[in-house]
Amino acid sequence: MKQIGRLGVYAFLVGAALFFLAPLYIMVITSLKSMEEIRAGQLFSLPLELTLAPWRAAWSEACTGLSCEGVSVGFWNSVSIVIPATILPILLGALNGYALSCWRPRGADALFALLMLGAFIPVQVMIYPLVKMLAAVGLFGSLPGIVLVHIIFSMPVMTLLFRNYYLAIPRELFNAARIDGGGFWRIFVELMLPMSTPIIIVAAIMQVTGVWKDYILGLVFAGHDNLPMTVQLNNVINTTTGERLYNVNMAATLLTSMLPLLVYFVSGRWFVRGITAGAVKG
């Protein structure tokens, strides 16, 4: 019976994997076909002649309205957004978590609860007030503006990750550092940050993939010159002038999702290690 049960579990897992991989398979093979072959209607068939022309067109030639520069412009826009929108929230989240877990100022629990409350407010509810605030200070539609928005929305999760991680560190280490004369910043820089590598990796994975996949915030706050890759992808796919090039659309979609997939494949094991090291404890 155990053998039959195990085979049943494996069969279910294999079936689930095939079900979820089927769209990816169709996207990949479609992006490698010519339009003549796609029109033949063989959706699941392998390409008769492999071609990378759709990938080249998606990267540098696909049209988004009147502009025909592909998704490469959006790629570099996304890179310029992701780098500061990852580094700054991690540093601020680590600082918040350190202060709330180690120094515990008066009202720390209330401040943490108030910060966590922000994590449950839908993004759409906050868009209009943020538009008005950023427009008032001249940051709406700019690179600093979209980075600031990502920092604001990431603070609850980043603070939660680092606070729980630091709570799992033995209190004796912090007390020993205090006895040795360490102050707020010295303990943070010389003790806490060097011990935070696992959770920093977890936070970086979450922030990079979250910012890269964002659409609504980039569309609203980035401005015309800083539109991220996801917005460019939407413009490529929904451009209705001329023939609809399904192979180019699929290639553009795969190019847009390449970085999150690469991050998960390369650093997935570090993500699990960071979580088990204390990211969800406390």
Give SS3 for 64. Answer: strand
For 73-228+258-279, CATH number out of 1.10.3720.10, 3.40.50.620, 3.40.50.2000, 3.40.50.1820 equals 1.10.3720.10
Give the global pTM.
0.85
pLDDT at 143: 94
Which residue spans of the chain are classified as CATH 1.10.3720.10?
73-228+258-279
pLDDT band at 281 (very low <50, low <70, confident <90, very high): very low
% of residues, the chain, pLDDT over 90? 48
pLDDT digits (tens, 9 = 90+) for 231-241: 999 888 887 66
266-273: average pLDDT? 72
pLDDT digits (tens, 9 = 90+) for 142-164: 999 999 999 999 999 999 999 98
pLDDT digits (tens, 9 = 90+) for 11-47: 999 999 999 899 999 999 999 999 988 888 778 888 8
Q: 51 CB contacts (<8 Å, ≥6 apart)?
A: 32, 33, 34
User: Which letter, b or e, does each residue of 107-120 get, where b requires 16 or more Cβ atoms within 10 Å of its Cβ?
Assistant: eeeeebeebeeeee
110-116: average pLDDT? 84
pLDDT higher than threshold 50 for residue 280:
no
For residues 69 and 60, the answer to whether their CB atoms sit within 8 Å is yes
